[in-house]
Amino acid sequence: MKIFLRGNHSRLHAGASAVWRRMNQLVEEKVGAQLVSSMDECDCVIVNGEGSMHDNGCSSLAKLKFGKKAKDSGKKAYLINSVWQNMGECSCCGWGKKHDDYLKEFDLVCVRDLISLNEIKHIRPDAMIYTDLSYDVPVDLPLQRGSKKAVGSFFHHPGFKFPKNEYTKIIIKRFPTWEQYLNALSVSNFFVSGKHHEFFAACKLRIPFVAYRGNTDKVLGVIKRAEANIPVASTPEELKFNINNPPDIGEYNKLFDFLDKQKPFKLEDLGL
């Protein structure tokens, strides 16, 4: 089977690069699968939705239209590793076509969090849920862990500064590879972040964290799926409160253990 991959966001940061790397690994691991460089050559296309499928963004529309184009060309089409929040009808579709209709064109759809699953299931009751692909990239985790507080990056500035004498800045955009970022983050034992892949890195390293809402509820959706009692702040006041009053370590372990026990996504899950 010849497979064409779409949705390379590696330029954004090491977490997105890890997702794309994992997608390529999945094709390499699949017996009889061959990665090709264009849709014209392929039997199926696999679209990486990642964090783009929200609020009717132009990037989400382009990916959905690509799925329809593949189907119109007689190809199989799959949307995987996706958020799906606040989507609906919008004016940029030209003739007012709904994103929902494009979504129905895909043979199968996989999302990353429980909130997305709940929002998408009325359109795609067959939608599946799997952990973000960055979590499943094979890596050697750092054996030594540090004792520093760290702060990452945010979609929306929290409105206050983190004291330099208390917090070390460890921002995912500054690291070229997922391994280097994980190694850097391993010096911390408490992490504050507003980014989805920074949150996943903390989970991979089992570092207690305080999360700040980004452009969607993608972090909260993962926590809800694990049924862990860990709040996600949506205001600076909530963030300050949560930093000073973090959940019991048992709630973090519930989340970390849940993620560790999840079945990694494979192309076989798409029936390939």
Q: What is the CATH number of domain 140-261?
A: 3.40.50.2000
Q: Write the pLDDT tens digit of every residue in 147-191.
A: 899 999 999 889 899 999 999 999 999 999 999 999 999 999 999
pLDDT value, residue 46: 98
Q: What's the predicted TM-score (pTM) here?
A: 0.94
Q: Under 8 Å CB-to-CB from 89, ≥6 apart: which residues?
A: 96, 97, 98, 99
Domains 2-135+262-270 and 140-261 fall in the same CATH topology: yes
pLDDT value, residue 91: 64
First to last CA, the chain: 8
CA atoms lying within 13 Å on the CB side of residue 213 = 13
Q: For the chain, percent helix, then strand, then coil, each to nearest 5?
A: 40, 20, 40
- Of 258, 252, 135, whose CA–CA distance to 190 is shortest? 252
CB-count exposure of residue 2 (10 Å: 0-12, 13-18, 19+) = middle
Q: Write the pLDDT tens digit of every residue in 70-100.
A: 999 999 999 999 999 988 776 666 555 678 8
Pick 2-135+262-270's CATH classification: 3.40.50, 1.10.150, 3.30.310, 1.10.720: 3.40.50
Q: Write the pLDDT tens digit of every residue in 33-73.
A: 999 999 999 999 999 999 888 887 767 888 999 999 999 99
CA distance 268 to 175: 32
Q: In what order do the strands lie in the sheet with 209-212?
A: 167-169, 148-151, 188-193, 209-212, 232-233
What is the domain partition of the chain in residue ranges?
Answer: 2-135+262-270, 140-261
CA distances from 17 to 135, 139, 225, 240 (A): 12, 14, 24, 31
Is residue 210 within 8 A of residue 233, CB to CB? The reply is yes
Local structure of residue 16 (DSSP, 8 states): H
